[in-house]
Chain A
Amino acid sequence: MNKPLKQIHLAASFPGVNNTTVWSHPDSGSQIEFTSFTHLARTAERAKFDFFFLAEGLRLREQHGKIYDLDVVGRPDTFTVLAALAAVTDRLGLAGTINSTFNEPYEVARQFASLDHLSAGRAAWNVVTSWDAFTGENFRRGGFLPQDQRYDRARQFLTAAGKLFGSWRGDEIVADTETGVFLTDPRAGEFAHRDAHFDISGRFTVPRSPQGRPVILQAGDSDEGREFAASSADAIFSRHATLEAGQAFYADVKARLARYGRTPEQLVVLPAATFVLADTDADATELARDVRRAQVSGQTAIKLLEQLWNRDLSAYDPEGPLPEIDPLVGEPTIAPGRASIRLYRDPLAVARQWRELAEAKNLSIRELITEVTERHTFVGSPRTVAASINDLVQADAADGFVLAPYVTPGGLDEFADKVVPLLQERKVFRTDYTGSTLRAHLGIDTRSTAR
């Protein structure tokens, strides 16, 4: 093969409020103290990662109408913690999820443009499109948006925000103390945007930021979500981190770009991935099994099963067989606002599949759930993991990965110390930053952001 080696992109996700994060681990630290955020971000920067990523959820999760208490609960405000991280890092991109339903473009654009200034060009925005009334109960407008309009709103939100980001050209401020001209343009920041969701006009307060606008990330997996990413995003997250599924997703989204006059390099494909490292592959396999057991306790297994069954299964023994009764079909009510539930488009079919699997392998509820829910993406020695990552990227199953450690905040340390040097040896990962902005790290054409 004469194809030049692709350069890998890597991001570090702050461990989330889900059962991937093992809070019972002896090394597990605070999920909220700033020292934990600093630790992970500095580790990612030491390892020359593209960016740090923080997810968001605007209502505490509930199941059976009670706050879910088995996983980590509690997280910071995205913008505020990213701005603080800009003070303890120099080059690392700073990415966060911000909801396009429970925010307004003027405010979000102000915050991202400010973050981009305060980080000298390192801001990124993962645009999410939740719509549920459950989350809406925390906001002025409540659950105002029908589900089928969520991408509509997201698209128009992004268009409106784009106008705001572009409302200053970048050459207005001359600050000439002699002549007393601060601005050359009396109408700097002027904007107007009107569509089905927004009718806004006036003046934007933040001068053009170093990147022009934040890097745009998107995580939608549906046809609509992929199309949205192809039209508007600089990078897309996915759940498809295996060779076949990864290649299919990769080919699909890259093929959509031409429709929008974009080239394949303009959308970076970054599946989410987890990893378990040990000195040998055998040790790693054993450790991975232990981690999975910690991630899927008996209680957690029942709770996850309930999300498919959509009914109370607390009477069932997690070490026993699957329930005889079928899932409750219809609007999922057991865990409102939880995105994972929407993955089960046909609960009866999934349940049938799970039953067959459990019978064939003689699995208990807990064993079954351990088997069918999210598994580790990379398990092995540093050499094995480095090879797997590189193989997937070179085979166009991905352009890189967003890595979620299972321990806060030290869960990336070993990866940084042992895997990254191997990727650097193979000349597929940078040994130092060559640019100062996130856009530069991602290798995204900067001309596309020029006005």
Chain B
Amino acid sequence: MSHLHLAVALDGAGWHPAAWRAPDARPDELFTARYWTDLVTEAEKGLVDFVTIEDSLGPQSTKIDGPDDRTDQVRGRLDAVLIAARVAPHTRRIGLVPTAVVTHTEPFHLAKAIATLDYVSTGRAGVRVRVSGSSSEARHFGRREFPEFRLPLPDASGGFVEDLFDEAADYVEVLRRLWDSWEDDAEIRDVATGRFIDRDKLHYIDFEGRWFSVKGPSITPRPPQGQPPVTALGHATVPYRLAARAADIAYVTPHDPRQAREIEREVRAEQATAGRAADPLHVFADLVVFLDENPAAAARRKSQLDELAGTEYGSDAAVFTGTPAQLADQLIEWRDAGLSGFRLRPGAIPHDLTAITRALVPELQRRGAFRREYEATTLRGLLGLARPANRYAA
């Protein structure tokens, strides 16, 4: 049986809005390096492929656009790329995949940030690109005016969302070109000719698009992995298309194996349309998980959190409550529907994180469905992705 891939999605005290009130939560440490180091170190003990770290250019909110002024939930967060960098020297094998917003920000800055994350982690960096359509976040930058974001989108939105995702695809194209803008052997240190680099192995990327143009080359040499994996979450055709055009991993949110199969097929069709049918593209399902030794305990713990939150928790992703063995059953069943891995969102941290690393992972190992040790030193290696050739190399 082939192994499945596992990622853990870290966000504050966990994905349930009342998770910070759980007895073992550490809500007053959410803004410390120690908290994040502990979490990622725990995930690494569980041999998971990578962690993602959530981020946004505005506060968490129950509203789709703008702050909700709530004081009973965690508000505020640190920059995810910097959390990943801070944790990198304390870990050795686990991949580090921060979220980065690709609307408003500069592709040149993000390219060197992720390349640098790849250097400080010696080949374990990735990035999850995220689009921001929020008018309130646009006002934080004051460079573009966005209409108030509403769902469903009004008919007169004039391709607003499609444009944001097209811009994101351009953005990822620039990241990838900048990562390749130095060939691997560009640094020559040739004392005889006095040259530190062979300038013929550095390349202008000369990207020109609707939203920006970028000259290049990067100021940072090609990162250890060549191309750190790019990942994106999607719930509909337009974001699937972004992942299919530009990413190495698509996170999707099916609620049953049939949906998993349908979504996987749609992503593959978009991939073929984008002319990337031959490229490896992982499709991972996102799942929010509440795990305990027996199903009743897991359900009870979730409903207690619901009670504290004052409302029943729902999510874009399917919500699983049960035992690690039941979850292992489900992951294998869904994997057989065409998925190559899962991004598990712990309902509450540390409880559901340690349940993943100390109970789910051993369960999957017993079934021959998960690694028993890290088999590679880079994130690409863990994901079965070869180190790519440089697009500019002769």
Task: Name A residues whose Cβ lies closer than 8 Å to a Cβ of B.
Answer: 23-24, 28, 32-34, 38, 57-60, 66-67, 69-77, 79-81, 83-84, 86-88, 102-104, 106-107, 110-111, 113-115, 117-120, 137-142, 168, 173, 175, 177, 180-189, 198-203, 205-207, 297, 299-300
Residues A110 and B79 in contact in the complex (CB < 8 Å), given A74-B182, A75-B220, A183-B71: yes
Chain B residues whose C-beta falls within 8 Å of the C-beta of A110 in the assembled complex: 57, 79
Complex-state Cα separation, A140 to B81, whole angstroms: 21
Pick from A77, A79, A117, A168: contact of B32, CB under 8 Å? A117
What separation, in Å, do the CA atoms of A181 and B74 have in the docked complex? 9
Closest B residue by C-beta to A136: B215
A23–B187 alpha-carbon span in the complex (Å): 11
Contact of A77 among B20, B115, B212 (CB under 8 A): B115
Q: Are A181 and B72 in contact (CB under 8 A)?
A: yes
Is B28's CB within 8 Å of the partner chain A? yes
- Do B220 and A77 touch (CB < 8 A)? yes
Closest B residue to A179 by beta carbon equals B72
Please, how many angstroms separate the alpha-carbon atoms of A102 and B199 in the complex? 25
Interface of A is mostly: loop
Besides the known contacts A23-B196, A77-B113, A83-B82, 9 further A-B residue pairs in the complex with CB atoms under 8 A apart = A60-B217, A69-B195, A69-B197, A75-B220, A81-B85, A87-B87, A188-B75, A200-B140, A202-B137
Q: What A residues does B368 contact at CB under 8 A?
A: none
Q: Which residues of A contact B196 (CB under 8 A)?
A: 23, 69-73
Q: Which chain B positions have C-beta within 8 A of A299?
A: 194
Chain B residues near A32: list those with CB within 8 A.
119, 220-221
12 CB contacts below 8 A, A to B, read A38-B89, A69-B195, A70-B195, A77-B115, A86-B86, A107-B141, A114-B79, A177-B21, A184-B71, A186-B70, A201-B139, A205-B58
CB of B142 within 8 A of CB of A24, answer: no
Contact of B76 among A38, A60, A102, A205 (CB under 8 A): A205
Contact B27 A117 (CB under 8 A): no
Q: From residue B13, how far is it (CB to closest CB) to chain A in Å?
A: 9
Tell which of A69, A80, A119, A184 touches B81, judged by Cβ atoms closer than 8 Å: A80
Determine whether the beta carbon of B58 is less than 8 Å from that of A203. yes
Whether the pair A186, B219 counts as a contact (CB closer than 8 A) is no
Cα of A266 to Cα of B223 in the assembled complex, Å:
41
| A75 B71 Cβ-Cβ under 8 A | no
Q: Judging by beta carbons under 8 Å apart, are A83 and B85 in contact?
A: yes
Across-interface contacts of A60 in B (CB, < 8 A): 202, 217, 219
Cross-chain contact B72 with A80 (CB below 8 angstroms) = no
Is B332 among interface residues, defined by CB-CB distance under 8 A?
no
Selected from B74, B83, B182, B219, the residue in CB contact (under 8 A) with A118 is: B83
Report A-chain residues with C-beta under 8 Å of the C-beta of B104.
Answer: 104, 107
Report the minimum CB–CB distance from A135 to chain B (whole Å): 9
Contact between chains at A81 and B120 (CB < 8 Å)? yes
Question: Are B117 and A106 within 8 A (Cβ)?
Answer: no
**C-alpha spacing A104/B87, complex, angstroms:** 26
Q: Are B141 and A200 in contact (CB under 8 A)?
A: yes
Q: A117: nearest residue on chain B (CB-CB)?
A: B31
Which residue of B37, B73, B108 is within 8 Å of A58 (Cβ)? B108
A405 and B187 alpha carbons, distance in the complex (Å):
21
Choose from A57, A200, A205 the contact partner of B56 (Cβ within 8 Å): A205
Return the chain A residue nearest B18 by Cβ.
A180
Q: Is B122 an interface residue (CB 8 A)?
A: yes
Find out whether the CB atom of B88 lies under 8 angstroms from the CB atom of A84. yes
Instruction: Write out the residue numbers on chain B whose beta carbons fall within 8 Å of the beta carbon of A187.
Output: 67, 69
- Which residues of A have CB within 8 Å of B73? 182
Q: Is B303 engaged at the interface, CB distance under 8 Å to the other chain?
A: no
Contact B57 A138 (CB under 8 A): no
Are A138 and B140 touching (Cβ within 8 A)?
no
Structural contact, B211 and A120, CB atoms closer than 8 A: no
Complex: how many Å from CA A443 to CA B147?
48
CB pair A76–B220 under 8 Å, yes or no, is yes
Q: Is A203 a contact partner of B59 (Cβ separation < 8 A)?
A: yes
Answer whether residue B109 sits at the interface, using C-beta atoms and an 8 A cutoff: yes
A80/B116 in contact, CB under 8 A: yes
What residues on B are CB-neighbors of A106 within 8 Å?
57, 140-141
Q: Are A202 and B140 in contact (CB under 8 A)?
A: yes
* Closest 9 pairs between A and B when the two form their complex, measured CB to CB: A175-B27, A84-B120, A83-B85, A186-B69, A137-B215, A80-B116, A114-B79, A87-B89, A77-B116
Q: Would you call B82 and A79 a contact (CB within 8 A)?
A: yes
Q: What is the CB-to-nearest-CB distance from B58 to chain A, in angstroms, rounded to a whole number?
A: 6
Residue of A whose beta carbon sits closest to that of B21: A177
Residues of B within 8 A of A173 (CB): 28, 76
**How many angstroms between the C-alpha atoms of A72 and B88 in the bound complex?**
26
Q: Closest chain B residue to A33 by CB distance?
A: B119
Docked pose: A58 CA to B73 CA in angstroms? 39
Compute how far the CA of A240 lies from the CA of B115 in the bound complex, rounded to whole angstroms. Answer: 36
Flag if A114 contacts B82 (CB, 8 Å): yes
In the bound complex, how far is the Cα of B67 from the Cα of A32, in angstroms? 40
Q: Enumerate chain B residues within 8 angstroms of A59, measured Cβ to Cβ.
A: 215, 219
Nearest-neighbor residue (CB-CB) of B117 within chain A: A80
* A118–B77 CA distance with the chains assembled, in angstroms: 12
From the candidates A117, A138, A141, name the one contacting B215 in the complex (CB within 8 A).
A138
Interface centre among A76, A113, A206, A299 (most CB of B within 10 A): A76
Residue of A nearest to B33 (CB): A118
| Distance from A296 Cβ to chain B, minimum over Cβ atoms (Å) | 11
Instruction: Flag whether B376 is at the interface (Cβ < 8 A).
Output: no
Whether B198 sits at the interface, judged by CB under 8 Å, is: yes
Residues of A within 8 A of B119 (CB): 32-34, 76, 81
Which of A83, A114, A140 is within 8 Å of B212, CB to CB? A140
Tell me if B136 is interfacial: C-beta within 8 Å of chain A.
yes
